[in-house]
Amino acid sequence: MPFCPQCASRVVAQIIQGEERMACSSTQCNFVLWENPTPVVAALVQLDQHFILARNANWPPGQFSILTGYLEKHEAPESAVLREVKEELGLDAEIKQFIGHYPFVAKNQLIIAYWVDGHGPITLDDELAEYKRLGHEVLSRYDFGPFLLTRQIIADCGLSC
């Protein structure tokens, strides 16, 4: 962002609260681009005795992960994760366990992960290309490739990879 959204002055790098941040160059303006992380929920979905991994339609074949989605305005993470499971897989779900929260620096996100129990038949939305059902043993050895954070979330859930 080259110009301040409040006064249209040039935005420049400055040291603010001990960190380099982009801020308005005008001494009359107090705009700082804080770049706070975006909250994202993640769901490790269990359906009967299997765990569901999905492939986003934009990912290359063979890349699977747990479900993720953005928190919406005024939405609690617990509600958001259940909404995402319903939207993406068509499953009703209930939270089994909070797994943890994880910084995802590459996309400036904070991932809030849950283990959920799903109920019903799977119906993929347009965002997903396909899914896999994996038993506990297979999931614990699954190669997530570049998705290191997924591996960490599963390990923290007690389902070590």
pTM, whole model, 2 decimals?
0.85
pLDDT tens digits for range 38-93: 999 999 999 999 999 999 999 999 999 999 999 999 999 999 999 999 999 999 99
Superfamily name with CATH number, domain 38-156: Nucleoside Triphosphate Pyrophosphohydrolase (3.90.79.10)
Give the start-to-end residue ranges of the domains of the chain: 1-35, 38-156
What per-residue confidence (pLDDT) applies to 157?
87
What per-residue confidence (pLDDT) applies to 159?
63
Helix ranges (H only) for 49-145 are 77-89, 136-141
Residue type, 67: L
pLDDT of 136 above 80:
yes
Q: Are 114 and 42 in contact (CB under 8 A)?
A: yes
Task: Please state, as a whole number, how many other Cβ atoms lie within 10 Å of the Cβ of residue 78.
Answer: 15
Question: How far is it, in rounded angstroms, from Cα 40 to Cα 8?
Answer: 31
Structure tokens at 52: 């569901």
pLDDT of 1 above 90:
no
